Structure 1
């Protein structure tokens, strides 16, 4: 991996040491140029006309994302963000009274709110599967819950937003297939930093964002829906992109994943997200994963050696998210002080992970990417207070 070329491709690297990639990564120049060029075209010939002229680039998005995650182009939908992609999948499932939803202790609170809303409206039940000792989802406990029956959905976050672990997504997929249960994977933090193959994972649906590790534009995301189940799911809202009007009182839903789209969209963002997917795939997701996880491991080691610093990450398999506290120092103040030194980090809050029985403190989160360097790591460490 040519890091010097990658950093030259990334204008932000000249201005900041960016360790907030779990929030929004720095986009590479090809993505910036693709988005800017389409928006400029819209400004000179009109939005509809620009979409017609760049129809091939808009269509290429589906091929690019499919290539990245080992899917088919007709299994991909363009959605405005990961939350809406996840919502479109979750709310399309025809839950009934008595159905069970299995999730994790590390679930993101935004998703947990959706579970509770559906449980109240449909009479479904939400059960939280306990963890193993290392903090990852217990596969034995999950299988025991599946054996009990009435499970309609297993919903898993691949990488939680707050503790650095990677959940065993493929092993969960195997259990879901054995028990004939739908499987929704929230890959918001994993697409772009881990090698993802939906056929190996065995998920039925996967949601992801453009702005994080994929290095795409903000306001973009995508949804994968396995071809074999698309027709069993009815999106919570539809329009003329998702369906064809049959006058005077009928409609036909599309038979591919684009039934989860809306007609109006951020066209420049869709093109840019396709470019971002190509950029990652061309670099090689296995190489990206190796560099990201290795760099994060080094950061954890450096932090753990410091007096007064507590690294909070869990799990046997590390991710690029590193969370920690510094005794006697407010995480928000640490973030602000680092930003004054052109080092970007973020803060994670307990309210973001509502099912976790171990209430974690507000913490600093530093999320590394492949374009970060040893020199930037030193800058980050020097920007932190010492006990």
Structure 2
């Protein structure tokens, strides 16, 4: 990206005038085209009615599926619009026909909400959860994963980029193991879609969940689910309505084909248009270019933080994302967050309680999470470093 490109993206991002935003892993600042799309549809709903505004925008609503599928290398009928990444992930996970004795393989850095779902299925149905160890770099050990697969293994479920750190798990290598073993692979891509160039065919996942509000720079309350067509058509959704299924006879129903069976009738239509616009905006820039910019800024941020006395970087993995986590000796992460906010600098805190097999195991109860995006600048990194350096 050229300096002129960055200047244009910042000119289209009103929030950069007010804050230094290093909380993109929480919720990015939306660009003008996304904001305008959402507001325009809400205005049409206000003026002519919600159903009527939806009908008026029918072709643009449908374009969401081609945009989302194009983003990740899928087909339009393999995409479902869902209200957030957690619900998208839930719709995939809870629709799998797991039974007593079936084994789920997951990672030490797994997202806490996902692990709670595993625990619930263990309690309800007697499934077995097995956590794959990390390698000496702190990422999932692919060789160990391969050794742990047995005839009882029914699912490999991994978070691509954990919410609490900069690790990028080796998704494509995991996908090769999953395909070779014939085991479904569910990828939580909540933090990776929008900052990395993600392609489901190259990764080899069968299901993928993503959100709008993070690195895609879309509206809150939006997300999508990818399910490979062959698998989608074999799965029974956890619930159905007259959008995801038809009622042709008194005692029969027919599920919608492909991923549409995981949607429901009522949704945030302004958000759907906004998410389509956010994806369009990202694709117009280029995901390879976005990835290069984000990872480059994060590398610079880590290098500069490592020079500060009392700062310890807490990210693991051989490849690291735009999420940068650290601790500062003598200062609680929450105290740092609030002090920075008073200076117009946004960061977040990752709690060890929500990463029991990772942060807590490594002795970190809370870490500061600073997450950059392509519209951030080197000057902002310098300002951030000065601010952290002032904590004595």
TM-score range (shorter-chain normalised) is over 0.9
2:166 to 164, 188, 205: 164
Please tell me whether residue 7 in structure 1 is matched to residue 10 in structure 2: yes
Which runs of at least 4 in structure 1 moved beyond 4 Å after TM superposition? none
1:209 to 186, 208, 211: 211
2:366 is matched with which residue?
362
2:80 is matched with which residue?
77
1:188 is matched with which residue?
190
2:378 to 363, 374, 384: 374
Please tell me whether residue 291 in structure 1 is matched to residue 293 in structure 2: yes
Q: Are the aligned partners of 2:139 and 2:168 in contact in 1 as well (CA < 8 Å)?
A: yes
Deviation at 1:354, TM superposition (A): 2.7
1:130 to 118, 130, 133: 133
Structural mapping, 1:58-207, within 5 Å:
58-146=61-149, 148-207=150-209
| Structure 2, unaligned runs of 5 or more | none
Please tell me whether residue 386 in structure 1 is matched to residue 391 in structure 2: yes
Q: Please, what TM-score do these two structures have when normalized by structure 1?
A: 0.98
Residues matched between the structures, number: 386
| Partner Cα separation in structure 1 for residue 289 and residue 156 of structure 2 | 30
Report SS of the residue matched to 2:233: helix
Deviation at 1:330, TM superposition (A): 1.3
Q: Are the aligned partners of 1:337 and 1:383 in contact in 2 as well (CA < 8 Å)?
A: no
1:305-340: per-residue Cα shift (whole Å, max 9, x none)?
A: 110001001111010000001111111111111111
The alignment yields a C-alpha RMSD, in angstroms, of 0.9
| Partner Cα separation in structure 1 for residue 363 and residue 249 of structure 2 | 55
Report SS of the residue matched to 1:363: strand
Deviation at 1:126, TM superposition (A): 0.3
| Partner Cα separation in structure 2 for residue 212 and residue 183 of structure 1 | 23
| Partner Cα separation in structure 2 for residue 88 and residue 278 of structure 1 | 25
Please tell me whether residue 319 in structure 1 is matched to residue 324 in structure 2: no
| Partner Cα separation in structure 2 for residue 43 and residue 67 of structure 1 | 32
Deviates more, 1:345-354 or 1:18-27: 345-354
Report SS of the residue matched to 1:121: helix
| Partner Cα separation in structure 1 for residue 126 and residue 368 of structure 2 | 38
Q: Please, what TM-score do these two structures have when normalized by structure 2?
A: 0.97
Deviation at 1:259, TM superposition (A): 0.3
1:179-211: per-residue Cα shift (whole Å, max 9, x none)?
A: 000000000000000001100000000000000
Q: Are the aligned partners of 1:112 and 1:354 in contact in 2 as well (CA < 8 Å)?
A: no
Q: Are the aligned partners of 1:154 and 1:176 in contact in 2 as well (CA < 8 Å)?
A: yes
| Partner Cα separation in structure 2 for residue 232 and residue 258 of structure 1 | 13
Q: Are the aligned partners of 2:156 and 2:186 in contact in 1 as well (CA < 8 Å)?
A: yes
Q: Are the aligned partners of 2:160 and 2:189 in contact in 1 as well (CA < 8 Å)?
A: yes
Please tell me whether residue 56 in structure 1 is matched to residue 56 in structure 2: no
2:45 is matched with which residue?
42
| Structure 1, unaligned runs of 5 or more | none
